[in-house]
Amino acid sequence: MIAVQGLSKSFGDKTVLDRIDLSVAPGESLCVIGQSGMGKSVLLKCILGMVAPDAGQILWQDRPLDGARRAEFMQQFGMLFQGGALFDSLSVWQNVAFRLRQQMPDQQARRIAIDKLARVGLAAETADLMPAQLSGGMAKRVALARAIAADPRVIFFDEPTTGLDPIRARRINDLIRGIVRSTGATAITITHDMESVRSIGDRVALLQQGRIAWQGPVSRMDAAPELAEFLGHAPQ
């Protein structure tokens, strides 16, 4: 469904992405792992059109993602940001229903937002709170509710468990797994949390020195020598 072909990006002398090839099938959950500064977020921003690649292309449904197709694509994906990126000046429900409010009356958008909040385990009373009143875990859930508010076909997760304690991180992983499975959405997750990979990924790709050093099913990653450093143990 989504493919990256020969994607390259440099900043000055530093090559961040070097002829990357990746593809994600419909309904598949791909986790991209790698150390900090290895270009994971740049890869994501290239796919989303926020950073222009130096070379290569993004394909969506086997056709290049440019012009009008990008506008169509932008309507069909959701994104969970590392820090939540909730709009401070809007209440929780207004954040969740941000896109919906441009398409339908507020009352209807609010109802859908409250449904989505329930989907991520938040009570309806949360709807009128402001982002500053939320804990880190709640803010992440609200951001997750916003990401799924318009029933996207593709969901991007950027470091979904960063900054959370292990218990909250596990809850977020469980929520993401449940949402991805129940909606059948394609998921691309950028992370360095191997618990997240095991919990939500079908397939994993290791980004190293700007290249994909290894990719394969999550079930085979324990045997991959390239991932030993990440896993913290020798290949099994």
Sites of contact with other proteins (CB under 8 A): 45, 48-50, 71, 74-75, 77-79, 81-83, 85-89, 98-99, 102, 146
By beta-carbon proximity to other proteins, the closer residue of 16 and 212 is 16
Min CB(124)–other proteins separation in Å: 22
Question: Shortest gap between Cβ of 49 and other proteins (angstroms)?
Answer: 8
Q: Exposed/middle/buried for 4, CB within 10 Å: 0-12, 13-18, 19+?
A: buried
Residue 45 or 198: which CB sits closer to other proteins? Answer: 45
Exposed / middle / buried, residue 165 (Cβ in 10 Å: 0-12, 13-18, 19+): exposed
| Contacts for 49 with CB less than 8 Å, ≥ 6 apart | 65, 70, 74
The CB-of-151 to other proteins minimum distance in angstroms stands at 14
Q: How far is CA 121 from CA 22, 104, 152, 201, 202, in A?
A: 33, 24, 19, 22, 24
Q: Which is nearer to other proteins, 139 or 194 (CB)?
A: 139
| Nearest CB to other proteins, comparing residues 33 and 149 | 149
To the nearest whole angstrom, how small is the minimum distance from the Cβ of residue 186 to other proteins?
Answer: 15
